[in-house]
Chains A and B, each alone.
Chain A
Amino acid sequence: DAEITQSPRHKITETGRQVTLACHQTWNHNNMFWYRQDLGHGLRLIHYSYGVQDTNKGEVSDGYSVSRSNTEDLPLTLESAASSQTSVYFCASSEGQSYNEQFFGPGTRLTVL
């Protein structure tokens, strides 16, 4: 069955370190998204991609970057982790049309000490 996976599921790191969170989907979807979830804010969009070599900034992109070298993967990199980036991160993917649902990964809980 097609799925979307994230790794690691839990990560603890130190302030200033570079961290990469992986997202892999086997739906063959063109669209992929990264969100962060914080109490009181719901999910907020960090970066998104509509296809290979395409990346776009979302609502809360400062301190994050993504690259899309193939259809299946959209890794999220924290260039220099900060305590404010402690959060739960969700990756999602969808097919082209707006009415299609986004399928979410299981989430990664990141703690920055």
Chain B
Amino acid sequence: AQTVTQSQPEMSVQEAETVTLSCTYDTSESDYYLFWYKQPPSRQMILVIRQEAYKQQNATENRFSVNFQKAAKSFSLKISDSQLGDAAMYFCAYRSAQKLVFGQGTRLTINP
């Protein structure tokens, strides 16, 4: 079975600085998708960024980018120019056959 591990329960960063959230996963599949979701205090789950495993190029969405290392089964999220609105729980997720497997989450605090 696939597993997803986020080894950083909490992270903090100064406003306008850059922070990287770590995620590793375990799978025997070669074709899959990886996602980062954001959960602010409102509890709403919001998709931040996605990565297809067959693509070598790292995905980028404005201030959010990933470092996808398929051989190492690593999928980290980099947030540049951190803003107060980025404060939230961040979940890494692995998807295969429509189902999502989530990591335990990382709580990100932004210090003004």
Contact = CB atoms under 8 A, between A and B. Distances in A.
A82 to B, nearest CB: 23
A64 interface: no
A58 B100 CA distance: 10
Q: Main SS of the interface on chain B?
A: strand
B91 A98 contact: no
Nearest to A48: B99
Contacts of A44: 102
Contacts of A102: 100
Chain B: interface size category: 20 to 34
Nearest to B4: A42
Chain A: interface size category: 20 to 34
B98 A104 contact: no
A42 B32 CA distance: 20
A94 interface: yes
Contacts of A48: 98-99
B33 A99 contact: yes
B68 interface: no
Contacts of A113: none
